[in-house]
């Protein structure tokens, strides 16, 4: 799928602010893909569609999680997590993208998962560090992303977990498992 076609599809699904975020994620993902040896076209498509379901009604997302037999525990956690796995499902169903690498990158861009594929890591980190993001810790992750993708991923996970803990919010088990995986791995790049 061509970039302009993909962007037009996504633009109808999200707000103007989220569209600008999507452009930033796309540009960052392409750069990271080129740096770390991933297919830039796959990174581009995954980045464009990563927030495809972000603004779907919560009731619709909840029903998709139930109907598609996604992990039911998702419903016990912040609904901000839902748009990633639901988005992967909808991108395949509504847009017709079947590339499992692209769908995996969309699916895990909020929670992460242990032993993430390269494209999954790229989209997770690109979503975290895109130029429109401004919050404590983002600059350190941007710097790490230039030399070691796993260390950037680990630092973004640490920051996210600390943020959720400070707000007294539950941390999704996949995020904890992802953090543990990369801590035990020692933050080494693949």
Would residue 170 count as lying in a domain? no
Within-domain flag for 169? no
Mean pLDDT of 83-109: 98
Taking 50 as the threshold, does the pLDDT of residue 189 lie above it? no
Tell me what pLDDT residue 186 has. 80
- Residue 33: per-residue pLDDT: 98
28 domain-assigned: yes
In this prediction, residues 139-151 reach a mean pLDDT of 97
According to the 3-state scheme, what is the secondary structure of the chain? CCHHHHHHHHHCCCCHHHHHHHHHHHHHHHHHHHHHCCCHHHHHHHHHHCCCCCCCCHHHHHHHHHHCCCCHHHHHCCHHHCHHHHHHHHHHHHHCCCCHHHHHHHHCCCCCCCCCCHHHHHHHHHHHHCCCCCCCCHHHHHHHHCCCHHHHHHHHHHHHHHHHHHCCCCCCHHHHHHHHHHHHHCCCCC
Q: Is 71 a member of any domain?
A: yes
Q: What is the pLDDT of residue 152?
A: 97
* CATH code assigned at 95: 1.10.3210.10
Question: In terms of residue numbers, what domain contains 8?
Answer: 3-135
Percentage of residues in the chain having pLDDT higher than 70:
98
Predicted pLDDT at 190: 40
Interatomic CA distance for residues 3 and 26, integer angstroms: 10
- Domains of the chain: total: 1
The residue among 188 and 149 whose pLDDT is bigger is: 149
Q: What is the mean pLDDT of residues 24-49?
A: 98
Share of the chain above pLDDT 90, in %: 97
Predicted confidence at residue 161, as pLDDT, reads 97
* Residue 121: inside a domain: yes
Any domain includes 157 = no
pTM over cut 0.75 = yes
**Which comes out higher in pLDDT, residue 30 or 189?**
30
- The reported pLDDT for the residue numbered 167 is 95
pLDDT of residue 108: 98
Residue 164 falls inside a structural domain: no
Assess if residue 122 is contained within a domain: yes
């Amino acid at each position: 799928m061509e970039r302009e076609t993909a962007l037009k599809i996504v633009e109808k699904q999200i707000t103007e602010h989220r569209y600008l975020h999507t452009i930033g994620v796309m540009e960052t993902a392409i750069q990271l893909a080129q740096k770390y040896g991933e297919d830039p076209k796959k990174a581009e498509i995954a980045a464009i569609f990563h927030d495809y379901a972000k603004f779907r009604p919560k009731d619709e997302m909840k029903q998709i999680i139930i109907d598609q037999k996604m992990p039911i525990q998702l419903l016990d956690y912040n609904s901000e997590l839902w748009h990633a796995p639901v988005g992967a499902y909808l991108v395949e169903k509504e847009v017709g993208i079947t590339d499992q690498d692209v769908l995996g990158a969309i699916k895990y861009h909020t929670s992460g998962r242990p032993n993430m594929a390269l494209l999954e890591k790229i989209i997770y980190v690109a979503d975290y560090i895109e130029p429109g993001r401004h919050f404590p810790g983002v600059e350190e992750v941007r710097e790490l992303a230039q030399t070691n993708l796993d260390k950037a991923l680990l630092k973004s996970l640490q920051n996210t977990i600390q943020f959720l803990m400070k707000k007294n919010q539950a941390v999704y088990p996949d995020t904890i498992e992802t953090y543990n995986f990369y801590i035990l791995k020692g933050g080494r790049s693949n």
